[in-house]
Protein backbone atom coordinates (compact mmCIF):
# COMPACT_ATOMS: atom_id res chain seq x y z
CA UNK A 1 0.00 0.00 0.00
CA UNK A 2 1.50 3.33 -1.05
CA UNK A 3 1.54 6.60 0.84
CA UNK A 4 -0.27 9.69 -0.48
CA UNK A 5 0.44 13.40 -0.18
CA UNK A 6 -2.53 15.56 0.80
CA UNK A 7 -3.35 19.13 -0.20
CA UNK A 8 -1.57 20.34 2.95
CA UNK A 9 1.69 19.87 1.00
CA UNK A 10 3.72 23.09 0.87
CA UNK A 11 5.96 21.84 -2.00
CA UNK A 12 9.14 22.06 0.07
CA UNK A 13 10.63 18.89 -1.40
CA UNK A 14 11.76 17.43 1.92
CA UNK A 15 9.92 14.18 1.20
CA UNK A 16 11.55 13.66 -2.20
CA UNK A 17 15.02 13.71 -0.72
CA UNK A 18 14.10 11.05 1.86
CA UNK A 19 12.62 8.53 -0.59
CA UNK A 20 15.05 5.62 -1.14
CA UNK A 21 13.40 4.59 -4.44
CA UNK A 22 12.81 8.06 -5.95
CA UNK A 23 9.04 7.54 -6.02
CA UNK A 24 8.28 11.19 -5.20
CA UNK A 25 8.27 13.97 -7.75
CA UNK A 26 7.06 17.54 -8.01
CA UNK A 27 3.51 17.69 -9.32
CA UNK A 28 1.22 20.57 -10.08
CA UNK A 29 0.75 22.43 -6.80
CA UNK A 30 2.15 19.66 -4.60
CA UNK A 31 4.49 16.70 -4.65
CA UNK A 32 3.14 13.30 -5.70
CA UNK A 33 4.06 9.70 -4.93
CA UNK A 34 4.20 7.09 -7.68
CA UNK A 35 2.16 4.26 -6.13
CA UNK A 36 3.84 1.68 -8.37
CA UNK A 37 7.32 2.66 -7.19
CA UNK A 38 6.51 3.30 -3.51
CA UNK A 39 7.80 0.56 -1.18
CA UNK A 40 5.76 1.85 1.79
CA UNK A 41 8.81 2.44 3.99
CA UNK A 42 7.40 5.60 5.60
CA UNK A 43 10.59 7.66 5.27
CA UNK A 44 8.68 10.42 3.47
CA UNK A 45 6.06 10.57 6.18
CA UNK A 46 8.73 11.10 8.83
CA UNK A 47 10.44 13.77 6.71
CA UNK A 48 7.38 15.92 6.00
CA UNK A 49 7.40 19.10 8.13
CA UNK A 50 3.63 19.66 7.78
CA UNK A 51 2.48 16.02 8.16
CA UNK A 52 0.89 16.01 4.69
CA UNK A 53 1.84 12.38 3.95
CA UNK A 54 -0.25 9.46 5.17
CA UNK A 55 -0.63 5.77 4.29
CA UNK A 56 -3.28 5.27 1.61
Residues linked to residue 34 through DSSP beta bridges, in sequence order: none
CATH topology of domain 3-55: Alpha-Beta Plaits (3.30.70)
**pLDDT tens series, the chain, 56 aa:** 789 999 999 999 999 999 999 999 999 999 999 999 999 999 999 999 999 999 98
Q: What is the pTM of this model?
A: 0.90
Answer for the pair 52, 23: CB distance below 8 angstroms, yes or no: no
**What pLDDT score was predicted for residue 47?**
92
Q: Where are the domains of the chain?
A: 3-55
Amino acid sequence: MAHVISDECISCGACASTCPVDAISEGEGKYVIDANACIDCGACEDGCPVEAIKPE
